Amino acid sequence: MSAGGSASAGAPPPSSAGTPPAASQPYRVQTASLIQDGQQLVWTVRLAQPFSADSLARDRRSLCLLIERASDGAVVGQLCVIGPARRSFEPRLVYAPVSGRGAGPSRIIAASARRTSSSSLSASFLPAAIGRGYGELRWQVVSTLHAAACAPPARGGGCFELYPARPALLKLHTPVLVGCVASGPSLVYHGSPRVREIALTFDDGPWNDPPTAAFLALLEREHVPATFFEIGDQISAFDRTGALERRMLADGDMIGDHTWTHPVMSSLSPAQQRSQLLQTVDAIRHATRGFTPCLWRPPYGAISPSLVSLARSLGLLTIMWDVDPRDWSLPGVGAIYANVVANAHDGAIVLQHFGGGPRYQTLAALPQEIRTLRARGYRFVTVSQLLGLRLLYR
């Protein structure tokens, strides 16, 4: 690796898992990998001894994934493990850019990280979360002990271990999301109450007041994925080329079916219900150049058992909500924000709108909603992620 200088270390020698490290040496890495899985990068690492994320800082240790230029192995960023947020048990990841002057400011990224054993970690995140596209990169894991009494490892070059000894090359390809697989209950109001995750959802677009692109730009800046339930008849009117829909998928967002014309679906005949759903599926597939949704949301929340069954037969889960700030009534930015944060909970599905009327209040409330919920330890996910649905790529 190199960043304003260079350092190298041999691969750590074998060690028995479960053996505590010497207090004067960094943790030893037994195995590590970085692979692409659909849109996500998946980082796995196993140490030679047990560890806990929340004790790393206390023990003056760090465990990081170095992101390096493919051309010369120069370090351009580091992704490090830190302890869990309040009311959570899972580790978090912070990313900092690296230059010749050293590491820049770090920030928590949107990532799913978990302990797979007492000595192992697995984390997944989008390349965009670390400022990367789908190209080539090199990587190494660095385990460091920050202490004056640190004794260099037997085959190391300082108070750190590098794995692998030479930067590994990862060639990423641009994934194309083509669908998701409906599984689990056909009618959903929320996700698991045992995970610190929350899904922001938006209905009634695409729209122009404000433009849908304004919502996408804000979510991109905040590194927050969302789920957009779209009205089929509006796609050709407000996103004629499908650029917005394709941008959503590229951002890691999810698109759902919100019917063709936004009727009270429970009052329609089965044939009309089927037409409302399938016309919108076709419009989304055409706009995205191949993505078939597996989620739909009934306008006004109007459902019946037969409608839920019909949707499931078409490969669509019926997605409701359990946090509703009634932003459609334009209650004010403060009221929208206060309602969302007061009612947020583990596994919540939040209903808001990005169409069907002027949605400037909703847009203005979002930044503070995101900051507050993130500070409370929530991880933002799409509905498909919240439910653990399998995504299909080509």
**Cβ atoms of 102 and 126 closer than 8 Å:** no
- Given 223, 258, 262, 353, which residue is catalytic? 353
Catalytic residue flag (residue 353): yes
Strand pairing of 254-257 and 227-230?
Answer: parallel
- Given 72, 173, 203, 239, which residue is catalytic? 203
**Cβ atoms of 260 and 231 closer than 8 Å:** yes
**Cβ atoms of 12 and 29 closer than 8 Å:** yes
Tokens describing residue 332: 């004010």
User: At which residue do the structure tokens 């992101």 appear?
Assistant: 67
Rounded distance between C-alpha atoms, residue 186 and residue 308, angstroms: 7
CA 88 to chain centroid: 17
Tokens describing residue 29: 């890495």
Strand pairing of 295-296 and 317-319?
Answer: parallel
Rounded distance between C-alpha atoms, residue 390 and residue 191, angstroms: 15
- 304 vs 186, 190, 264, 276, 301, CA distance in Å? 12, 18, 11, 15, 10
**Cβ atoms of 321 and 353 closer than 8 Å:** no
Q: Which of the residues are catalytic?
A: 203, 353
